[in-house]
Structure 1
Amino acid sequence: MSNVFSKVKNIYQLFKSVDFKQLEALSQKVDLKEVMTQFSKLDEKQLAGLMKMVGGNKKVKELPPINGDFYELSDSLSPEDRALQLKVRAFMETEIKPIVNKYWNRAEFPHEIIPKMAELNICGLTYEGYGCPNRSFLMEGIIATEIGRIDASIATFFGVQSGLAMGSIYICGSDEQKQRWLPKMQKMELIGSFGLTEPEIGSAAAGGLTTTAKRNGDTWVLNGQKKWIGNATFADVNIVWARDLDDNQVKGFVIEKGNPGFSVEKIENKMALRIVQNGLIILTDCVVTEENRLQNCNSFKDVAKVLQMTRAGVAWMAVGCARGAYESALKYTRERVQFGKPIASFQLIQNHLVEMLSNLTAMQTLVFQLSKLQDEGKLTDEHASLAKVFCTMRTRDVVSRAREVMGGNGILLEYDVARFVADAEAIYSYEGTKEINSLIVGRAITGFSAFV
């Protein structure tokens, strides 16, 4: 039986490089069935000679591994951190990659992944206490990249949960509030959302929130709307920021699912981050108790502390999106054959790949240093803003080139790059536009504020 299998394998090797048109033309000249019958009668030595004659026994060229970490920055991680990185990578490859295009296409969220993701024990990675792992900001960034490398929507979902929602409670909540919500959020038993942006207020949130809060004894009455709020359609706890009518300062509130006066409408027809369930939150005389007001938030400066921390994570997420696109494109070009050769062997394709890798490597080295500053307690708004601007801009270039080298197939979901192209547009805009983050950096380096 093994001898027969070996013969069939060798015959297959002989014919596999022949395309359909060639076989069709050959069938007009010879009886292919009879040819195969005669081939099957040849012994191994005769077959080997025939294979050699037609060049079928050429040694397969061993190609280098596909690896977007060209400068091997991950080698600087401790064995424990490297193991966690690979654990998250394996989860994303086995649990998320096989289903992601289906859910992205349907604009639905795969709720079944939440318990599996919770088992990774990566939620609230940098926080101390409350069941959180208390690891480095560098490791948090690497995890954001690993998730984003497969899908930016899942990375955004996780960033809202672990960064914006948990971070708001961790930074602005009292110890009692932290004890109440953070342990369950860390285990992903409670899912959170973060409501700052409004239908008419995005970049001007620092001084222009139209959502209001009015204190009435031991309760607060909230009115207004919040838009683009990730996870809001199914979140258990919603962080909502509102302007106090009495002192005109921003306050934070934790509004739990089912609270009267709180409703959410799903935002439909998005071209990017389609798995993320963005909602329009509507607050109509929504009564929230004083114990659900974040006790350590007294102005927008406290909100900015949360945004500074998570903006660095968005830069890492952009790196993941770019890496996923680059590695997908590289794999494709090594397998796609035109003019009898893999297109990766052509000069123009290699130029695109090198440009992509150059951008990706620059982004990676930048965010590594960014997280080092964060771990040392030296991170500033301008540090985070520069990283967000640069990484999201370069990601747009990387995904564009990835789509280009894939030709028409680049717009098909099955090759993944189309999803990266679309999602890169959303990453470019959220957590502060390119213009706003540029002005933050410009103010730091010139000493002049160009904000209106």
Structure 2
Amino acid sequence: MWGPPNQNVFVSPYIKLQGKRESRRDHYYYSFPLLSLPSSSSPASPPRAPPPPQAKLQASSSSGPPGMAGKQGDGGDGREEDGAKVGLPALDISLAFPQATPASIFPPSASDYYQIDDLLTTEEQSIRKKVRAIMEKEIAPIMATYWEKAEFPFHAIPKLSSLGVAGGTIKGYGCPGLSITASAITMAEIARVDASCSTFILVHSSLAMVTIALCGSEVQKQKYLPSLAQLTAVGCWALTEPNHGSDASSLITTATKVPGGWHIDGQKRWIGNSTFADVLVVLARNANTKQLNGFIVRKGAPGLKATKIENKIGLRMVQNGDIVFNKVFVPEEDRLPGVNSFQDISKVLAISRVMVAWQPIGISMGVFDVCHRYLKERKQFGVPLVAFQLNQEKLVRMLGNIQAMLLVGWRLCKLYESGKMTPGHASLGKGWTSRMAREVVSLGRELLGGNGILADFLVAKAFCDLEPIYSYEGTYDINSLVTGREITGIASFKPAALAKARL
């Protein structure tokens, strides 16, 4: 406790108020009597002091404007330090800053300036509208709260299931059988509202499910895909390791043949959804052949341990994990027969890289939409911020980037659908859109000024969420080298061998 225990004292940091000053740990605190305290003749049971006046303005978890991060503590009367309540609770953002609408009420779309929607089929337009409506209504109000807490909103999984996008391009087995364009558009629409939810769907659908669909047996498809498509089961995809990220093909997790199946030993890192996934698609090196093999590992298998990676600055809702395998037994029936080399995984990555290319597009769309509304609502010097030339130039630069990103993303989908997409095409798409999105979110942060560092207005959250996307599914540099290899015919992934020292 910062000060002497006293029920009749409310401790507030850094604010000089009526009463005596107390010093502790080189910080100064001021204690003052609370209002309406009972006399010393009150009953033995200690009375509960009323909350400070500001707490009356605090929105409860079940009423008031939704989705405000970090505002809903126990009883709404400040945080605890050493058992004592310290400080006053923050005002609800709509009361603290009534001049602009927070992102919990998502703005209408204003970023399709070149009318890319006209390039979509009626079916693709329909699924886009459906996903947009559900994301704005169901996810926007809660995203800032869960992002701040670094927790995944498990109660929202049925809402994400209702999007009807899990399984993407997979046909049959309860999957939607979307076109690659429709699947990419839905990825952007999810990311427009929340990048963490789009990554959850990406890992579950475009990696775990697609691997089973492309590399699994018919029995495995019928066994696993229907529940994954309905999101009654959740999947993850385990490739990267503590010592193998960009050079993932050098992984050292091993699969050893034993009677009736396999023993998997090793460690994986940065695996999204891994702390709660029901189905883990694991890539390991065959101890005998040294080739890459794939396995379906079920949640709760003996020797399997998945722990959450803490302290992330981006995609905080995504539960990335460290996985340790200690002689985890996988029956032969759960080995993926279609994974026998890294080339077999490349066809999975071809789809997922298209999807990842659309995540920065969606994030940029959301940031532009929020900034477009914010600058119209927020006034300085007696006029809306949108009236200033510098702000208009930044908005136009953001909008131009988004139009170019949309056209590149759309063309990438068409190349895939026609069978013409190469690894270089996919890598350029993912690397370039994530680089352009960096400028968009940076400009958005500038435009919102101080509110640009608050998750309440989306931009700060998007600014942070883009950083892991810039690096995963191939860093910008690695994706550039993939394209560079394709256009020059020279692979430059490894540094040149050191020349022998001359005598």
TM-score by length of 2: 0.76
Instruction: Measure the CA separation in 1 of the matches of 2:402 and 2:116.
Output: 12
Superimposed CA distance per residue, residues 124-170 of structure 1 (whole angstroms, 9 cap, x where no aligned partner): 12112111221210000100000000010000001111111101101
Is 1:348 aligned to 2:390, yes or no?
yes
Superimposed CA distance per residue, residues 201-247 of structure 1 (whole angstroms, 9 cap, x where no aligned partner): 101111x1111111113211111110011001110000111111111
Is 1:114 aligned to 2:170, yes or no?
no
Q: CA deviation at 1:76?
A: 2.4
5+ residue gaps, structure 2: 1-106, 495-503
Specify the alignment match of 1:74 in structure 2. 117
Is 1:102 aligned to 2:145, yes or no?
yes
For 2:344, give the aligned amino acid: D
Instruction: Measure the CA separation in 2 of the matches of 1:379 and 1:170.
Output: 20
Q: CA deviation at 1:120?
A: 2.6
Is 1:250 aligned to 2:292, yes or no?
yes
Specify the alignment match of 1:184 in structure 2. 227
Q: CA deviation at 1:260?
A: 0.7
Superimposed CA distance per residue, residues 23-73 of structure 1 (whole angstroms, 9 cap, x where no aligned partner): xxxxxxxxxxxxxxxxxxxxxxxxxxxxxxxxxxxxxxxxx9751111111
C-alpha contact (below 8 Å) 2:209/2:228 kept by paired residues = yes
Aligned CA distance change for structure 1 residues 65 and 173 (closer, same or farther; 3 Å): closer
Superimposed CA distance per residue, residues 100-135 of structure 1 (whole angstroms, 9 cap, x where no aligned partner): 000000001111111222223211121121112212
Question: Of residues 202, 208, 216 in structure 2, which corresponds to 1:159?
Answer: 202
3-state SS, counterpart of residue 393 of structure 1:
helix
Q: CA deviation at 1:410?
A: 0.3
Question: Of residues 364, 385, 405 in structure 2, which corresponds to 1:363?
Answer: 405
For 1:213, give the aligned amino acid: A
3-state SS, counterpart of residue 112 of structure 1:
helix
Is 1:421 aligned to 2:466, yes or no?
no
Instruction: Measure the CA separation in 2 of the matches of 1:142 and 1:65.
Output: 17
Query: Sequence identity, in percent?
Result: 48
C-alpha contact (below 8 Å) 1:66/1:331 kept by paired residues = no
Is 1:227 aligned to 2:269, yes or no?
yes
Question: Of residues 357, 362, 376 in structure 1, which corresponds to 2:418?
Answer: 376
Question: Of residues 256, 259, 263 in structure 2, which corresponds to 1:217?
Answer: 259
Q: Which has the higher strand share?
A: 2
Matches within 5 A, 1:48-447: 67-206=110-249, 208-447=250-489
TM-score by length of 1: 0.84
Instruction: Measure the CA separation in 2 of the matches of 1:371 and 1:80.
Output: 15
C-alpha contact (below 8 Å) 2:147/2:317 kept by paired residues = yes
Task: Between 308-317 and 74-83, report the one with greater CA deviation.
Answer: 74-83
Q: Which has the higher helix share?
A: 1
C-alpha contact (below 8 Å) 2:110/2:372 kept by paired residues = no
Instruction: Measure the CA separation in 2 of the matches of 1:218 and 1:447.
Output: 45
Superimposed CA distance per residue, residues 281-315 of structure 1 (whole angstroms, 9 cap, x where no aligned partner): 00011111111110111111111211111011001
The aligned length equals 388
Instruction: Measure the CA separation in 2 of the matches of 1:390 and 1:451.
Output: 18
RMSD over aligned Cα atoms: 1.2
Specify the alignment match of 2:16 in structure 1. none
Aligned CA distance change for structure 1 residues 359 and 251 (closer, same or farther; 3 Å): same
Instruction: Measure the CA separation in 2 of the matches of 1:357 and 1:280.
Output: 38
C-alpha contact (below 8 Å) 1:262/1:282 kept by paired residues = yes
3-state SS, counterpart of residue 285 of structure 1:
strand
Instruction: Measure the CA separation in 2 of the matches of 1:149 and 1:326.
Output: 10
C-alpha contact (below 8 Å) 1:222/1:287 kept by paired residues = yes
For 1:247, give the aligned amino acid: T
For 1:102, give the aligned amino acid: T
Q: CA deviation at 1:79?
A: 2.6
For 1:216, give the aligned amino acid: V
Aligned CA distance change for structure 1 residues 270 and 65 (closer, same or farther; 3 Å): closer
Instruction: Measure the CA separation in 1 of the matches of 2:221 and 2:191.
Output: 28
C-alpha contact (below 8 Å) 2:108/2:369 kept by paired residues = no
Q: CA deviation at 1:377?
A: 1.9
For 1:119, give the aligned amino acid: S
C-alpha contact (below 8 Å) 1:386/1:437 kept by paired residues = yes
Instruction: Measure the CA separation in 1 of the matches of 2:384 and 2:108.
Output: 16
C-alpha contact (below 8 Å) 1:66/1:330 kept by paired residues = no
Aligned CA distance change for structure 1 residues 95 and 66 (closer, same or farther; 3 Å): closer
Instruction: Measure the CA separation in 2 of the matches of 1:190 and 1:178.
Output: 14
Aligned structure 1 segments of 4 or more residues deviating by more than 4 angstroms? none
For 2:364, give the aligned amino acid: A
For 2:191, give the aligned amino acid: G
For 1:378, give the aligned amino acid: K
C-alpha contact (below 8 Å) 1:132/1:183 kept by paired residues = yes
Q: CA deviation at 1:257?
A: 0.6
